A and B are shown apart, each in its own frame.
Chain A
């Protein structure tokens, strides 16, 4: 395979907000093929270096990306902030330029600062490198591959998202998963209801197409699926945003009693990591309405599709049918 061809149209994936509904459908369609027809998986990325540059800790996302890359034949190199030049005070800009000079195919970045993947992409472009940057989560901004794997999971159960109601409950303010899902679900025609403590559910998200519902029971009773999010204490500053964990669970948690009020076909999602007993009852998390394990499985396929798109394998985006 010609590396010249490969580098021609590498595409960043910085967020869902900038994707079209068509882009999203193409990625999902390809992910389904890669998942359901493994014979379609070729080593299209053989010899391509894929770097995972993680400034924040992660288990599932990093492993999922690395597995996706390896299934496509890529060689993966992982860099953690704790073992890199960051500890020596190197700026993200300089790190980007340094890595770009080594000519990788894809850099997958996770960072606590919103917008860091864009800065990295700009740094790499500044040295004329065509590597694609894939956002694996930037602060409270976006986590596009999580939204894609969530959509894949939703569409495994629902024919279409058009007119469907999806609830997202929990610490919305600090959640990149909530933002990416909100953008994606709206683009595919779903109604999005947000719930959780008012102090963690910014009303400024309403102009983006969400509806905030004060009473989480109202969401649970109508939603086709509910996504439960954990409280991100590590991102909080100042005093606690709600009185106590037991208060939180009582008012906003998906307890077994609440789960029983879900419509018959409705199901429960969680992007992890899960705080069992706080936002979700263990019984519900492991129960028949939970699709959490399925989400994780879909993660690898969604990320394979994203990596293929990033490398523009076989003129990928133009040739795929929906």
Chain B
């Protein structure tokens, strides 16, 4: 088996509690063999790790890879390439496909495309309801057996509370998490951005932050009722963060994630009718940004998930209220958390944990997001001090929609390895 030696590297894994400098690490075939070998061990390939940090490969809980159905925007191959460039070795793919992931055949198609695209793990998230219509349950048992890792209607809230209850009870028996988009869609009806001073100035219909709080409160109540594991997707408001904090204190089995953009941008990014900043949920106010950053720092929010979603010019270069929502984000997620580290709002340990241990715990996977001797070699090398500018022209994504074009980040991913295969490398 081919041997790769990473020499002189800082090994950093919040999940396993490792922080060791100047180590040499040996990878053999698809396995991470030793976390501490002599630097002169024979190897086919040697990587100079001085000044770099070796972490478990990142896990993204929310990507929209567009295939099948929306390959104008993204494909599994291009999405996986963008993931690798962002340090991700595992990507949970949302059922925002056409057809949606509510049949075993779709799961099989996705897994075969993912295998063809390389060694990055693509984990399909099954639809919670058939067609994501919110009317009847998808075949969660069959989907789970085929390889789905959680169930969700992605960016649609499940309006019918009874249906969500049944979904949670089914998921409980399957030992699977349910992920929700928590929102009262009646309260946010017609809203195209956050309701606030900015929406008032722009004359755009806003969705109040209370719509998210109402949704979160309902979903938490059902999690408490059913005992199911609930994962709250892309939380964006101070109110939601506080509800989750209280629920965790009560012992509700809940986890939560936040998107990178909601950690650094406010609704002011939409001024000038900038459709690149039109997201679901919408960008909120500084009060909300501060609250979700605090919640991420104190463990109330478990993970950062990219919500990577490609959209074409055709869908974005139109009137704001008619424009599609979403932003690409796989390549910039680590840069964003490092930005928070640099500002002193997140520790480096936490920044890595929310991309590794955190999402692994959401998925209930002990084999992912950790550096384990003789475990699978899912690794990322980062240079925390290599400042770089995110240039759209160098993006691997098929789409170009992001409000972060041209943004400077304090550090970056320089090398990724998924299951022993190098998937990204700018060291040479």
Q: Which residues of A contact B (CB under 8 A)?
A: 17, 91-93, 111, 113-116, 118-119, 138-142, 176, 179, 202, 204-205, 207-208, 237-238
Contact = CB atoms under 8 A, between A and B. Distances in A.
Given A204-B195, A237-B190, A139 B321 contact: yes
B319 A205 contact: no
B318 to A, nearest CB: 6
Nearest to A113: B319
Nearest to A178: B203
A116 B199 CA distance: 15
B189 A238 contact: yes
B286 interface: no
A17 B189 contact: no
B201 A208 contact: yes
Contacts of B200: 202, 204-205, 207-208
B273 interface: yes
B425 interface: no
Interface string B146-175: 000000000000000000000000000000
B375 interface: no
B273 A119 contact: yes
12 contacts: A91-B314, A91-B318, A111-B319, A114-B204, A114-B321, A119-B319, A139-B204, A140-B204, A141-B203, A204-B196, A207-B200, A237-B205
B203 A138 contact: yes
B203 A139 contact: yes
B203 A114 contact: yes
A115 B202 contact: yes
Given A92-B319, A113-B321, A238 B186 contact: yes
A115 B319 contact: yes
Contacts of A17: 201
Nearest to B197: A207
B317 interface: yes
A176 B273 CA distance: 16
B322 interface: yes
Given A17-B201, A114-B320, 16 more contacts: A114-B202, A114-B273, A115-B202, A119-B319, A139-B203, A139-B321, A140-B204, A141-B204, A179-B203, A202-B200, A204-B196, A204-B199, A205-B200, A208-B197, A208-B200, A208-B201
**3 closest Cβ pairs, A-B complex:** A141-B203, A115-B273, A113-B319
B171 to A, nearest CB: 31
Interface string B262-278: 00000000001100000
Contacts of B197: 204, 207-208
Contacts of A116: 319
A238 B314 CA distance: 29
A221 B56 CA distance: 69
Contacts of B203: 114, 138-142, 176, 179
B286 to A, nearest CB: 13
Most buried by B among A118, A138, A140, A237: A140
Contacts of A179: 201, 203
A301 B196 CA distance: 35
Nearest to B198: A204
B246 to A, nearest CB: 27
Nearest to A139: B203
Contact of A113 (B195, B201, B322): B322
A92 B201 CA distance: 22
Interface in B169-221: 186, 189-190, 195-197, 199-206
B189 A115 contact: no
Contacts of B321: 113-114, 139
Nearest to A175: B203
Contacts of A204: 195-197, 199-200, 206
B147 to A, nearest CB: 39
